[in-house]
Chain A
Amino acid sequence: MAMQYSRKVMEHFKSPKNMGEMKNPDAVGMVGNQRCGDVMKIYLMVGKKDGKDIIKDIKFQTYGCVSAIATTSVTTEMVKGKTLDEAYKLTRDDVAGKLGGLPPIKMHCSNLASEALQDAIDNYRKKTANNKNNEGE
């Protein structure tokens, strides 16, 4: 069956934004598995703005189909500069909407992209909580 992708999906696939590995990230999130055909990895660099944690820089690497690559790319673009709380609330509908829609069978890709981001934020929060605990000792 021919897959009909929106212009926006194809743009992100052709020239993905924020693509590549990050050296010394503050946190990393990863979801999916190779057996199913999608693995998404998100790297975060966290900064402070008005006393809040914000995403100062973000990068991704994705193994997967066209929409897997496009959804991670657009996700990084959407949350760069946002606070961690705002970024965490990103839903699959936000991601798919920003891309001008996804074929129904590909909706799970947009889910995975926001899950990878949430995984990275969770890991960051765990790490900072541990650091605080350690400082307390």
Chain B
Amino acid sequence: MNRIYLDTAATTRVDPEVMKAMEPYFTRDFGNMASLHSAGRDAENAVEKARRLISGKVNGKEHRLVFTSGGTESNNFALKGIAFANMGKGKHIITTRIEHDCVLNSARWLEKQGFEVTYLPVDRQGFVSTDDFADAIRKDTILASVIHANNEIGTIEPIRELGKIAHEKGVLFHTDACQSFTKVPIDLKKDNIDLMTVNSHKIYGPKGVGGLFIRQGMRIDPLLHGGGQEFGYRSGTVNVSGIIGFSKAADMMKENHVEHMAKLRDMLIEGALEIKDSWLNGPSGNLRLANNAHITFKHIEGESLIIHLDLKGIASSTGSACSSKTLEPSHVLTSLGLRPEEAHGSVRFSVGRDNTKEEIEYTIGALRESVETLRKISPLR
């Protein structure tokens, strides 16, 4: 049975061309880029080229890209680094209720260190209101962090407007672009972004590498102290092969991939919504991430549906109670106003550039069967 992988929002495979680009940096050009000899210099040159390439994707001329171990580290770095470097100015931070856990839990940890955090609500489709955002800014607000495209429901937030408001009031603006980088056009300058988190393993690059764009001249404390690598912002031997893979992956993502994904996404959404008692979470069209389809099926428990589909060779995902360690429904879905029982019955499909129309057709058929079977087992009507 061929596996149909519809979980690219979780992670993607490494593209063979990315593997090929990385390979020499494990065996031949393995030098430590802090070394003085030519092996070290070669590694350094390659990393600087990668840095320029990735920065070029988002008009990062005014920013410095600091490579990290991934999205979680970058988000921790952004929140904690800015908070501690700027606590003299104020101790208030704004974020939203639908951030990834690595932002939310960093914010909660900062609360324990004496910072105050406002968690903005979202509307039924997951949008943050610019009015709420503006109203939340106080004299002592130092940072606002809003996810660019939500990882569960695919809502693309109005970051340009939010960034503009933040800047008008002298507040630094961070966005977590782990899901959107290379899928949604980003211009760090025009979009009023001071800090931005990106990562590699959602764009067919390797796991364990990501980055944080930091506007030059900004005060930010490092998370990791040591040998002063990455301009002193991120100590630790630089992950040369990973960075080369990351830049190759970024280079390979093209506009037509995004169009392909959006087409498959819409096909999947349309087919899934033909099933009785179902609805789409998040917006449709251009304000939705190109690869994300998130559907609620009434009277269905998410984990059962995921495993049912898995038995048919389809990999999808849920944030439902039973699949998580906490047994709590997804904080994103309850923030939209979904009741816990509705949140439990929600499934995320995230398509990729390798998926085909035929795979989506098969998935729609399998989905219809599985929902029907599980509804038969269920006592709820």
Q: Is B116 an interface residue (CB 8 A)?
A: no
0 or 1 for each of A30-46: is its CB under 8 Å from B? (1 = yes): 10001111111100000
Whether B378 lies near A66 (C-beta < 8 A) is no
Q: Is A110 an interface residue (CB 8 A)?
A: no
Q: A13-B307, A41-B379, A64-B322 are in contact. Are A35 and B341 (CB under 8 A)?
A: yes
Q: A37-B320, A37-B321, A37-B344 are in contact. Are A20 and B339 (CB under 8 A)?
A: no
Tell me the residues in window 322-345 of chain B with beta carbons closer than 8 Å to chain A beta carbons. Answer: 322-325, 327, 329, 339-341, 344
List of A residues within 8 angstroms of B341 by Cβ? 34-35, 37
List of A residues within 8 angstroms of B377 by Cβ? 16, 19, 61-63, 69
Whether A63 lies near B303 (C-beta < 8 A) is no
Closest to B340 in A: A35
- Chain A: residues with Cβ within 8 Å of the partner, total of 28
Q: Is B301 an interface residue (CB 8 A)?
A: yes
- Chain B: residues with Cβ within 8 Å of the partner, total of 23
List of B residues within 8 angstroms of A41 by Cβ? 379
Q: Is B380 an interface residue (CB 8 A)?
A: yes
Closest to A1 in B: B325
Counting chain A CB atoms within 10 Å of each CB, the highest count among B307, B327, B378, B379 belongs to: B379
A39 to B381, CA, bound (A): 12
Whether B320 lies near A39 (C-beta < 8 A) is no
Whether B299 lies near A63 (C-beta < 8 A) is yes
Whether A20 lies near B303 (C-beta < 8 A) is no
Q: How many A-B residue pairs have CB under 8 A?
A: 73
Whether B301 lies near A63 (C-beta < 8 A) is yes
Q: Is A14 an interface residue (CB 8 A)?
A: yes
A41 to B329, CA, bound (A): 23
List of B residues within 8 angstroms of A37 by Cβ? 301, 320-322, 327, 329, 340-341, 344
Q: Is B376 an interface residue (CB 8 A)?
A: yes
Closest to B323 in A: A3
- Min CB distance B172 to A, Å, is 34
List of A residues within 8 angstroms of B134 by Cβ? none
Q: Is B229 an interface residue (CB 8 A)?
A: no
Q: Is B311 an interface residue (CB 8 A)?
A: yes
Q: Is B304 an interface residue (CB 8 A)?
A: yes
Which residue of B322, B324, B378 is within 8 Å of A62 (Cβ)?
B378
Tell me the residues in window 58-116 of chain A with beta carbons closer than 8 Å to chain B beta carbons. Answer: 61-69, 105-106
Whether A64 lies near B304 (C-beta < 8 A) is yes
0 or 1 for each of A123-137: is its CB under 8 Å from B? (1 = yes): 000000000000000
Extra contacts, 13 of them, besides A14-B311, A65-B303, A67-B322 (Cβ < 8 A), are A20-B376, A35-B340, A37-B340, A38-B301, A39-B380, A63-B299, A64-B301, A64-B304, A65-B323, A66-B303, A66-B322, A68-B301, A68-B304
A-B residue pairs in contact (CB < 8 Å), sample of 16: A5-B307, A13-B304, A34-B341, A35-B339, A36-B321, A37-B321, A37-B322, A40-B379, A61-B379, A63-B378, A63-B379, A63-B380, A64-B304, A65-B304, A67-B322, A69-B304
